[in-house]
Structure 1
């Protein structure tokens, strides 16, 4: 049987990733902010509409409520506000942390990214060191793997109460043989430069 908590987390990750890839830069930046406020043992998280494009809100609301989320509201600006207990919030953050660590392991072990030797995140997932075989890295497209790290990092920040408009995930690319940091990739800014 599928674990309902994981279902909500996976559904929310999917929603955020879809929205990130379709994010419009012309929108009012104040609408892109994520707010988290703790009031009387509850946590409210507002997810900007740019993270939720083309999502089936009714299905998401039903799944989340079945999993113990107190309330999901579609706001007039098309963002959604999720209200949950502090305990549920901690469980979601813990599940996200586990998923992020699993994603890192999958990238490290993936034969499609032969240059990547090791990925070291900081505790808050705002910075990563991508240790690589520099020659292989510069001769292929392994750098695209960092987009997943960037999106995952932003998603974690969103649920950790950070304002998305001010969040930048930094990926430092380090030569595994010399220890030299030879590239610094800011996410989501990297998407604007690669368009």
Structure 2
């Protein structure tokens, strides 16, 4: 059973990658900024590489914002200081946007300290309260997505409830097994990417990055199917 779900998940990742390559815009919202499915694939790539090289994903402070050579690095990082948080997003997040547009958008969101680095990545420095607000807004976008899956345009017939823990490392999907089919397991791919993205923005160490999704029988509370982001791509 577990092998089957990862077969479908792997197929989904391939489809998403193809969509990205041909430039199809599939958008999700985070902190009032638009990010394409390419960014979610970037998060998965980041998490996968971090398993074999925990050092990846950390910002090289000597190479950001100092006129160095362009980099193909696609890492996302968050560094927490005593009073502030720095978040660096890769250049791929800002394709088609000018530096002025990036700065203006950040200022509108109350982020005044913005650096467009030589490799095209952008570093935001914000207060801890602003960082907390950003994470809260991101969780709200996940809640909206879940609402759509339970009773909305993206409704999955067998899903009766979806819950996640405080740090978004575990999602529990309650299902009516009489209506469930394994193809519906593909619907939860966004939970892996969303959870990993949340962890990364929250400064979680790369070696600790993991999101688990459980499928639970609503009548018996039995976990009958489960998967981990660490298994993606294996």
TM-score (norm 2): 0.64
Matching residue within 30, 37, 57 for 1:32: 57
Post-superposition Cα deviations, 1:16-66, rounded to whole Å, max 9, x if no partner, equal x43122565669763434232224x3221233x387374636233320123
- 179 and 123 in structure 1: CA distance in 2 versus 1, 3 angstrom threshold: same
* Residues 1:89 and 2:111 aligned together: no
Question: Gapped runs of 5+ residues in structure 1?
Answer: 1-6
Count of residue correspondences? 181
2:225 matched to which residue of 1? 183
1:37-186 equivalences in 2 (<5 Å):
37-39=80-82, 41-47=83-89, 49=90, 52=93, 54=95, 56=97, 58=99, 59-76=101-118, 78-110=120-152, 112-137=155-180, 139=181, 141-164=183-206, 166-186=208-228
TM-score (norm 1): 0.75
Structure of larger gyration radius: 2
Question: Gapped runs of 5+ residues in structure 2?
Answer: 1-28, 59-76
C-alpha contact (below 8 Å) 1:131/1:176 kept by paired residues: yes
Rounded to whole Å, the distance in 2 between the matches of 1:104 and 1:26 is: 28
RMSD: 3.0
